[in-house]
Structure 1
Amino acid sequence: MEPKAHHVVIGFFTLVAVAAALVFALWLEKSQTDTEWAYYRINFDHPVGGLAEGNAVLYSGVNVGTVEDLTLAPENPAHVRVLVRVDQNIPIRANTKAGLVLANITGSMSVQFTGGSPDSPVLNGSRENPPVIEAQPSTLTSLLSNSETLLTKADQLLGSANELLSEDNLENIARILENTRAASESLLQSREDLIALLEQFNAAGARTEDAASRVSGAANHAREVLGKLEPVIAGLADSVNSLQPTLERLDRLTADNEKALDTGLQGVGELGPALRELRNTLRTLNSFTRRLEQDTRGTLLGEETMKEYRE
């Protein structure tokens, strides 16, 4: 009796679970039937691999509808037209953007709406006349569409790497490493010389610093001397400024007496002959003075002096 009772309980719970699942499915179908839908056509100008009928339509990551139909544009088969239905209570506006997002790791894609400002008009459409929305290419879509190019470039990169790691290049790298090792050993052997050279550089730096200090002191002294000369220079400037009116007066005086100065200069030129005559007169007067001192009477009376001769 006990095993049979266990089977009855298990069967009862199984029937309850199946009934609950049926009730949930009927409720879900009823809720979907009662939902009012708005339809939109999205134009893709790039491949939509992974997108299929029944895939989810998202708005900022929230499921708001499903994909109803996918067709190729008759005028350009490279473009795809996707008909989606969205809950009518979700406002799809004129500036709302549409694109593709990865739904899961299997490569399934979903349509996602983003954006839409409140001041933009709401798009209302029916299945017979759905508004058209131009899709924006996503980063993932661009990556998938350019994957072939990326693989080609990766293959070229691997080929270049193989050429770089060829035997000749490896031998060259080995030589470079050997030369580097030899140079390092040479530097280690010349370590004392390098230390002496560095000490000389340090001494030269110290002398340079001392010279710079002296130059700085000379510059400070020159600055102090210039500071002391500033009052003298200012006094000279004041003197020049005070002489300026005098020079201007001399200029005006010279301009006003230009004719008189010309006449005076001509008179100075005529003084030469008069001075020569005066010099001759002074010479004659000097001679007369000497004669008067020697023979006053004869000179004044005009008598000739008797010269005595001894036999």
Structure 2
Amino acid sequence: METKANYTIVGFFTVLVIAAAFGFVYWMAEYGRGGPMTELIVRIPGSANGLSVGSPVRFNGIQIGSVQTLSIDADDPQYSLAFTQVRTDAPIYPSTKAALEIQGLTGAAYIELSGGRKGEESILQHAIDNGKRAVIVADQSSVTNLLATADKILDRANDAVGELQGFIEDSRGPLTETFKNAETFSDALAKNSGNIDAFLQSVGQLSETVKAVSGRVDSTLQAVESLVKAVDAQKIDNIVSNAEKITANVADASGDLKGAIQKFDQTATTFNDFGKQAQATLDRVDTLVAQIDPAKVKGSVDDISQATKDARAAVASIRDVANTVSARQKDIDQTIQDVSQLSNKLNSASTRIDGILIKVDALLGTDNTQSLFTEARDTLESFKKVADNLNSRIGPIADNLQKFSSGGLRDVQTLVNDMRGTVSNLNDTITNFDRNPQRLIFGGDTVKQYDGRTRR
């Protein structure tokens, strides 16, 4: 069957279909992706590893374009250039951040845009208005940072492994010796297991003892605290102050004893001379006795010998008295000084009595002579009584002073020394207890230690 076709119409239809196909493709390229596209150049510092032609360009995770071409920046080789096509209405501002990110587990890289302050002029619109290309600088690639960090970590790990290997080589010998010593020690423990059990039992008994003693620690501490509180610090201070006053008074009075010491030195010298004379006399007596016949004067010689012994004993007693007087010169000088003051007062009183007598003599011619004599007689009797009382009391006062100087001062000095020793001991006790309270219970610094060696 033969058909007739109009080749012109067929050709026109074919051309129309092809044109429609091209138009559809163009429409899809321009408007099918969401609107018109604009070129955006992304400058990536360092490596752009993983990024390829066709890699997506995303804004907050939403794709707005793709990478068209990759190249190296001719002006600065440290940067890589990614020529991209993005939507013209994308909110890309000068403050927008760009970074090279990795997609999932595949390792494919893409360009991520984010941020930006609203109100700024879009760099895409500004480039279109000025007829230029829009350019944005990306931050350091996280992939590059990851690779650099991994490289540094591997270097450090390599160094650490080398140092560890050297340490193991250096420590191999000491570790071997340590293991041998541990084996020896374990053998020793196994051999002395019985002693160790006994030691552990002793430790258990010691812990029970400490537990029993710890129950009394509280009461002991309370008793110590009560003892410390019972000591009145003010009384101790008063006693020490009084003792210091007494010693100060004695020191002040010691300056007036020079004259008394000189007098007692003279007295001691006199007794010494007397002793020498007595010794010479005794020597003469011994010579005389040697010349006399012993048979005739045996009784006389015995008497003379006894007298000689008595004389020597008397001389020794006199020397002891002189030594005692020399030792008590201060006290005796004080007594002499008091007696001198008393005599001075009596002299002053006698002077006043003389004045009174003169006045009495002037008044003898008056009518009241008899009454004046009576009053004068009474006054003189009163003074006589006073003088008698003083004379009777001077002896006991001197004896009391001598007793006080012989025994009282020693007792006071002994009391002061004992009190100082007591205060010092109490202070040391409190200090030691504060530094080491366990000494009150255990009586030592540490618990006795055992070296665990085998007993033979």
Range of TM-score over shorter length = 0.5 to 0.7
1:285 equivalent to 2:380? Answer: yes
Q: Secondary structure at the match of 1:285?
A: helix
Q: Secondary structure at the match of 2:98?
A: strand
The alignment's TM-score, normalised by the length of structure 2, stands at 0.39
Q: Give me the whole-angstrom Cα distance separating, in 1, the residues matched to 2:86 and 2:100.
A: 16
* Equivalent pair of 1:58/1:112 in contact (CA under 8 Å): yes
Q: 1:177 aligns with which of 176, 179, 189?
A: 179
Q: 1:159 to 1:124 in 2, by over 3 A?
A: same
- How far residue 99 of structure 1 moved from its aligned partner, in angstroms, is 0.8
- How far residue 73 of structure 1 moved from its aligned partner, in angstroms, is 2.3
Alignment-derived partner of residue 247 in structure 2: none
- Percent of paired sites with the same residue: 19
Q: 1:118 to 1:30 in 2, by over 3 A?
A: closer
Q: Give me the whole-angstrom Cα distance separating, in 2, the residues matched to 1:279 and 1:94.
A: 130
Q: Give me the whole-angstrom Cα distance separating, in 1, the residues matched to 2:383 and 2:48.
A: 147
* Equivalent pair of 1:58/1:111 in contact (CA under 8 Å): yes
Alignment-derived partner of residue 86 in structure 2: 86
In structure 2, list runs of 5 or more residues that go unmatched.
1-20, 233-344, 357-375, 386-456
Q: Secondary structure at the match of 1:47?
A: coil
User: What is the CA RMSD across the aligned residues, in angstroms?
Assistant: 4.4
Q: Give me the whole-angstrom Cα distance separating, in 2, the residues matched to 1:161 and 1:46.
A: 35
User: Which structure would you say has the larger RCO, counting Cα contacts within 8 Å and 6 or more residues apart?
Assistant: 1
Q: Secondary structure at the match of 2:66?
A: strand
Q: 1:200 aligns with which of 199, 206, 218?
A: 206
Q: 2:145 aligns with which of 142, 147, 151?
A: 142
Q: What amino acid is aligned across from residue 138 of structure 2 in structure 1?
A: A
Q: What amino acid is aligned across from residue 210 of structure 2 in structure 1?
A: A
Q: Give me the whole-angstrom Cα distance separating, in 1, the residues matched to 2:176 and 2:187.
A: 17
* Equivalent pair of 1:100/1:141 in contact (CA under 8 Å): no
Once the two structures are overlaid, the 10-residue window that deviates more, 93-102 or 273-282, is: 273-282
Q: What amino acid is aligned across from residue 96 of structure 2 in structure 1?
A: T
Structure (1 or 2) with the greater strand fraction: 1
Q: Secondary structure at the match of 1:77?
A: coil
Q: 2:221 aligns with which of 211, 215, 224?
A: 215
- How far residue 36 of structure 1 moved from its aligned partner, in angstroms, is 1.7
Q: What amino acid is aligned across from residue 94 of structure 2 in structure 1?
A: A
Aligned residues: 222
Structure (1 or 2) with the greater helix fraction: 2
Q: Secondary structure at the match of 2:147?
A: helix
Deviations 1:117-137 (A, max 9, x none): 445554334475234333222
Alignment-derived partner of residue 71 in structure 1: 71
Q: Secondary structure at the match of 1:196?
A: helix
The alignment's TM-score, normalised by the length of structure 1, stands at 0.54
Deviations 1:83-129 (A, max 9, x none): 32322333123322111111354543111112334455543344752
Structure number with larger C-alpha Rg:
2
Q: Secondary structure at the match of 1:124?
A: helix
Q: What amino acid is aligned across from residue 145 of structure 2 in structure 1?
A: S
Q: Give me the whole-angstrom Cα distance separating, in 1, the residues matched to 2:198 and 2:134.
A: 86
Q: Secondary structure at the match of 2:78?
A: strand
Deviations 1:131-189 (A, max 9, x none): 433322244320213444333333333333443444x6445434323433444565673
In structure 1, list runs of 5 or more residues that go unmatched.
1-21, 230-270, 291-311
Once the two structures are overlaid, the 10-residue window that deviates more, 61-70 or 175-184, is: 175-184
* Equivalent pair of 1:40/1:130 in contact (CA under 8 Å): yes
